[in-house]
Chain A
Amino acid sequence: MAHRTRERPRGPVAWAVLGVSVVTVAALLLLPLVVVFVEAFREGPARWVSAVSSPDTVSALKLTGLVLALVVPFHLVFGVAAAWLLTRYDFPGKGIVLTLVDLPFAVSPVVSGLLFVLLFGARGFFGPWLIDHGIRIVYAVPGIVLATLFVTLPFVTRELVPLLDAQGREEEEAAASLGAGAMHILFRVTLPRIKWGVLYGGVLCAARAAGEFGAVSVVSGQLRGETVTLPLHVEVRYDEYAFVDAFAVATLLAFSGLATLGFKAWLEERARRAMRTTGESG
């Protein structure tokens, strides 16, 4: 692999390209982030505190926490199982499985939410049956969890498939020939080697689960204090012209987004360093 060192930009063309890049990123990507904090603290820190500690915000925070607590562990297990299946076994229809795993990324969030309304909504396929039995899925918490499960499906699997592919099966086969069972191999041989990948995929999954707006807004019904997650609460307050409140809640989400970015950068740096040391010894 050609090892390229970066050089200082030379000549007017280079400086112009760099200038356009910096202005684009600053104006288009950085300014929106800055404006969130400026608007949130427009009326001082006390106002911010009262906005983020209001009962509605707290209940939204709790709901988002509940969604995270259900969705992330589910996808950690499913992601490892699916990636294991896709990289360790050959079976007819593998392409279909891969497509189904990737599909939620290709579907509009609004359409993702719609799918669950068509199934469980009042006029959906299971709607009449659910009404007869007094079960609410859409416009209730189960629908929010289902829609979030759907949109976050690809994250962990996508992270692990290339990792498991690159690793090969030799060590697992060695363990098997020494009499280790499948579970034993999974927990003692495979998982320890992909744990950072699992963590990385889990973090991306959690970030999306906490921040999903489109799909959740379709199935939520916006019942205050019941089915309003944090990203929805931002919209609710904004639509009520309570702009400072909306931006104050938005800072919570922006903070967690920034923390995710920082964590992601740290993990990538770690991986790069690990690759460099193995590259030197190998």
Chain B
Amino acid sequence: MAVTSVVLLTLVAVPLSALVLTVLRASSDAIVRAATDPRTLAACALSFGASAAAAFLCAPLGLAVAWSLARWDFPGRRVLDALIDIPFALPTSVSGIALTALCAPTGWVGACFVPLGIDLAFTRVGIVIALLFTGLPFVVRTVQPVIEDLPRDVEEAAASLGASPAQAFRRVLLPSVLPALMTGTTLAFARSLGEYGSVVFIAGNMPMRTEVAPLRVLAHLENYDYVSAAVVAVEMLVASAGLLLAVNLVQRRLVHRGTSNA
């Protein structure tokens, strides 16, 4: 009991209150200036936008992968299953330089897009690719067990009542998978908002254009501007907490509607 409380206090509670205190002790001028700094606003908007784009791409792709792994038997299924955890297993600096090498104009993937006139690395597209990489396993690993546990008789009942496979999927299967899909997508989104390592290499980090929010924290720290760094950190924390809260509310309503329909 004592051990746990002391560790949690010194390791989590005290550092966190340092963040709150830093902001509280600062003059309101300094806070407003840090919070409305155009470079910071652009970075926060980019982090939010790129994370949203990656999350919306992750949802259908993750659902397809989770569905394939949970439902079908095919050669290499277990290998595919094991590969999903690669982003969890690689340090973010390693995935960062690897994705950059792939997407650079001379890289295996980047070279394919050069004739189309599309640059992947050092653009916002590259940022979204990196966030797709870190986000996909969250969606797959949240949705996969739910699909595995779906009772088969429901589908059979739908089919015997004359539903086409597409109808059965849309009306019967998708609603039961939807809460997990939302949870997984939100986890990916929240993780993307604060993602640093896998993004900095591919982003190019141009002020106002490809600079993400965590980089602003580091830039302020380099100038020993602790207040501004803390303000950006609080903005990031509020954004991800708000996101998690919003999804929780929507989800509760979804579950509620599901039970009242039944």
Contact at A213–B22, with CB atoms within 8 Å? Answer: no
Closest to A239 in B: B201
Q: Would you give the 0/1 interface string for B191-202, flagging 1 where the beta carbon is closer than 8 Å to chain A?
A: 001111100010
CB-based contact A82/B18 at 8 Å: no
Chain A 119-171 residues near chain B, CB threshold 8 A: 119, 121-125, 146, 149-150, 153
Interface secondary structure of A, over-half rule: helix
Closest chain-B Cβ to A256's Cβ sits at a distance in Å of: 9
Contact with B71, one of A7, A103, A104, A106 (Cβ below 8 angstroms): A7
Cβ of B22 and Cβ of A118 under 8 Å apart?
Answer: yes
Q: How far is the CA of A221 from the CA of B198 in the complex (A)?
A: 19
Contact present for A108 and B195 (CB under 8 Å): yes
Which residues of B (61-98) have their CB < 8 Å from a CB of A? 61, 64-65, 67-74, 77, 80, 82-87, 89-95, 97-98
Please, which residues of chain A bring their CB within 8 A of the CB of B129?
28
Cα distance, A247 to B91, chains bound together (Å): 12
B188 proximal to A (CB < 8 A)? no
Q: Is the CB of A231 within 8 A of B92?
A: yes
Question: Given contacts A1-B149, A17-B67, A211-B90, are A100 and B221 in contact (CB under 8 A)?
Answer: no
State whether A107 touches B194 (Cβ < 8 A): yes
Asked if A89 contacts B1 (CB within 8 A), the reply is yes
- Asked if B19 lies at the interface with its beta carbon under 8 angstroms from chain A, I say yes
Max chain A Cβ within 10 angstroms of own Cβ: one of B97, B226, B236? B97
Min Cβ gap B200→A in Å is 8
A21-B80, A35-B108 are contacts. A97–B8 as well, Cβ < 8 Å? yes
- B194 partner residues in chain A, CB cutoff 8 A: 107-111
Q: A28-B132, A104-B12 are in contact. Are A33 and B98 (CB under 8 A)?
A: yes
Q: Are A214 and B196 in contact (CB under 8 A)?
A: yes
* Cβ 8 A contact of A108, one of B193, B201, B230: B193
**In contact, A29 and B84 (Cβ under 8 angstroms):** yes
Contact of B13 among A100, A121, A210, A234 (CB under 8 A): A100
A272 interface residue, CB < 8 Å from B? Answer: no
- By the criterion of a CB under 8 Å from any partner CB, how many residues of chain A are at the interface? 86
A110 to B196, CA, bound (A): 7
A244 to chain B, nearest CB (A): 11
Residue of chain B at shortest CB distance from A117: B221
Q: Does A39 contact B (CB under 8 A)?
A: yes
Interface check A260, CB cutoff 8 A: yes
- The 8 Å CB contact of A7, one of B72, B92, B108, is B72
Contact of A153 among B11, B22, B98, B149 (CB under 8 A): B11
In this assembly, does B175 line the interface, its C-beta being within 8 Å of a C-beta of chain A? no
Cβ-based interface call for B14 (8 A): yes
Chain A, Cβ-Cβ closest to B3: A81
Q: Mark A203-219, 1 if CB is under 8 A from B, else 0.
A: 00001001111100110
Determine whether the beta carbon of A261 is less than 8 Å from that of B97: no
Q: Is the CB of A115 within 8 A of B19?
A: yes
| Residues of chain B within 8 A of A9, CB atoms compared | 68, 71-72, 74
Instruction: Report A-chain residues with C-beta under 8 Å of the C-beta of B149.
Output: 1-2
CB-based contact B101/A39 at 8 Å: yes
Question: In the docked arrangement, what's the CA distance between A235 and B152, Å?
Answer: 49
Closest-by-CB residue of A relative to B68 is A21
- Cα A8 to Cα B22 in complex, Å, equals 59
Digit string of A184-207 for contact with B (CB within 8 Å is 1, else 0)?
Answer: 000000000000000000000001
Q: Looking at the assembled complex, report how far the CB atom of B241 sits from the nearest CB atom of chain A, in whole angstroms.
A: 8
User: Could you say which residues of chain B place their CB within 8 Å of the CB of A30?
Assistant: 83, 86
Within the complex, what minimum Cβ distance (angstroms) separates B82 from chain A? 6
Interface residues of B in 192-228 (CB under 8 A from A): 193-197, 201, 214, 217-218, 221, 224, 226
Interfacial chain B residues near A207, Cβ < 8 Å? 89
Known: A17-B68, A118-B19, A247-B97. A25 touches B83 (CB 8 A): yes
The reply to whether B94 and A250 contact each other, CB–CB distance below 8 Å, is yes
B148: CB under 8 A from chain A? yes
Contacts of A32 in B (CB 8 A): 86, 90, 95, 98-99, 102, 133
Chain A residues near B137: list those with CB within 8 A: 29
A217: chain B residues at CB < 8 Å are 196-197, 218
| B190 contacts chain A at the CB level, 8 A cutoff | yes
Q: A28-B136, A110-B214 are in contact. List 18 more A-B contacts (CB 8 A).
A: A2-B151, A4-B148, A14-B72, A18-B68, A18-B72, A24-B61, A29-B136, A29-B137, A31-B102, A35-B108, A39-B101, A85-B4, A111-B236, A117-B226, A213-B196, A214-B92, A238-B201, A258-B89
Residues of B in contact with A (beta carbons under 8 Å apart): 1, 3-5, 7-8, 11-16, 18-19, 21-22, 61, 64-65, 67-74, 77, 80, 82-87, 89-95, 97-99, 101-102, 107-109, 129, 132-133, 136-137, 148-153, 165, 190, 193-197, 201, 214, 217-218, 221, 224, 226, 229-230, 233, 236-237, 240-241, 244
Q: Which 4 A-B pairs have the closest CB atoms?
A: A108-B194, A211-B91, A257-B89, A115-B15
